[in-house]
Structure 1
Amino acid sequence: MTDGTPPTAGAPEPAADPETPAAPAELTSLERTALYKSLGNPLRRRILDYLGRHGEANSTVLARELGESSGTTSYHLRKLAEQKLIEEIPEKSGGRERWWRSLPFSHTAPDPATMTTEEFEAARHLALLKIDIDTQLFRRAHEEYRGPDGWAHVQRHGTWLTRDELTAFMREYRALLDHYGHSRETAPEGARPVNMRFYAVAEPMGEWNGEPTGP
């Protein structure tokens, strides 16, 4: 499971891509558990979504836009900063007024079999939340499809791959996205935030229509 939600609108799926400092490559189980709980918190997701769309905000702006108290948004901003999902903007902050922006973010979850019970439950809760969000995006993609040159695209494919080939494909998929994609700050005129999702899953072990399904 890779999550880049914060960087893009609606995602941190942080985006985030959003390339500057990212979350630590190696996290402990406790750190991953805290991360999943943060990304699974509805208000923190809304804060990350707002920063992804608008670039920056302070607790007062977020309180007004999200219908919360500034004390509540200030608390959650500090927690997101502790996990390197956002950072303070020094040149705009002064006194009690602190401005924040999202940070690039990418994280690949470990094998669930290696997780502690608490970590697994936090990851499971986050996964269910993301499935709900992704289902809404899937429906929108179908409803807003206007042909192969439009803004909405849906494709389905099936093929045979070895595990090494699938892993290589995933690396190249990510490299292709990095090649064509832009951060909010460097996006050219006419660019819009685009939510992209990709999943791949092998058929179950055993026979299917008389043929082996492979590893």
Structure 2
Amino acid sequence: MPWQGRGYRLPMSAADPTPPTELTSLERTALYKSLANPLRRRILDYLTRHGEANSTVLARELGESSGTTSYHLRKLAEQRLIEEIPEKSGGRERWWRAAPFAHTAPDPATMAPEEYAAAERLALLKIETDTRLFRRAHEEYAGPEGWAQVQRAGVWMTKEELLAFVRAYQELLARYGHTREDAPQGARRMNLRFYAAPDAVGEWRGEPTGP
């Protein structure tokens, strides 16, 4: 199946390097189903872009009823994808913001059937989104000093070197990335993607390639 090994990831605070809690298969299944739900994805996207909202604001902006947005906000809160803003909430009015969260999907071969199906559906949705972003990056490219950047490379690495490279990439994101709250003036929300795929197993100049 089309598979993205990296799970859903929201910005993490550089000041809080606590690793995420390991999820059970049932929890991962519920997570993947939530992230594949069109309205919940739109709610998360709105909160990430605008910082905060309540059910009434989301209903107006997303064209839904406040009862519907309130229900989906509660479900997202149960999975700790969003959190309440105590200083703004009072009575029946509850304000929400996206919560720091990171998740790395396990090996699909270890997944239960229901989890696998939910992960596959989410992966297909993410591939559609990433394809649109890839096209935009090419269309909006304005040279090496512009906002849109595209980098492609092919190099030889051992598996250990590849994993070290991924860790270094994550460290660079923590070093140069900001949350919405601490972003400096002039910062824009950037959509970055990273993937690595080895050449197919075979031979090159008589030498084996692949794992």
- Measured against the shorter chain, the TM-score band is over 0.9
Task: Give TM-score, length-normalised by structure 1.
Answer: 0.91
* 8 Å CA contact retained: 1:16, 1:104: yes
Structure 1 residue 18, shift from structure 2 partner: 7.1
Question: How many residues are treated as equivalent by the alignment?
Answer: 206
Mapped partners of 1:214, 1:117: distance in 2: 28
Residue 64 of structure 2 is aligned to residue 31 of structure 1: no
Q: Any runs of at least 4 consecutive aligned residues in structure 1 with deviations exceeding 4 A, and if so which?
A: 18-24, 208-211
Match of 2:6 in 1: 2
SS in 2 for 1:207: strand
Match of 1:9 in 2: none
Structure 1 residue 72, shift from structure 2 partner: 0.4
Match of 1:8 in 2: none
Task: Give TM-score, length-normalised by structure 2.
Answer: 0.93
* 8 Å CA contact retained: 1:21, 1:104: no
Match of 1:181 in 2: 177
Question: Partner amino acid for 1:16?
Answer: P
Mapped partners of 2:59, 2:176: distance in 1: 35
Structure 1 residue 4, shift from structure 2 partner: 4.3
Mapped partners of 2:103, 2:93: distance in 1: 30
| Matches for 1:14-29 after TM superposition, within 5 Å | 15-17=10-12, 24-29=20-25
Match of 1:164 in 2: 160
Residue 198 of structure 2 is aligned to residue 194 of structure 1: no
SS in 1 for 2:184: coil
- Identity over aligned residues, as a percent? 73
Mapped partners of 1:150, 1:4: distance in 2: 27
SS in 2 for 1:108: coil
- Say which of 37, 57, 66 aligns to 2:62: 66
SS in 2 for 1:53: helix
Mapped partners of 1:3, 1:145: distance in 2: 27
Mapped partners of 1:141, 1:199: distance in 2: 16
Structure 1 residue 158, shift from structure 2 partner: 0.5
Structure 1 residue 22, shift from structure 2 partner: 7.9
Question: Partner amino acid for 2:185?
Answer: E
Structure 1 residue 25, shift from structure 2 partner: 2.3
Mapped partners of 1:137, 1:125: distance in 2: 19
Mapped partners of 1:192, 1:183: distance in 2: 11
Distance 1:23 1:162, change over 3 A: closer
Mapped partners of 1:106, 1:164: distance in 2: 23
Match of 1:76 in 2: 72
Residue 203 of structure 2 is aligned to residue 207 of structure 1: yes
Distance 1:112 1:166, change over 3 A: same
| Matches for 1:92-131 after TM superposition, within 5 Å | 92-131=88-127
Match of 1:149 in 2: 145
Question: Partner amino acid for 1:134?
Answer: D
Consecutive unaligned residues in structure 2, runs of 5 or more: none
Mapped partners of 1:208, 1:37: distance in 2: 42
Distance 1:60 1:159, change over 3 A: same
SS in 2 for 1:154: coil
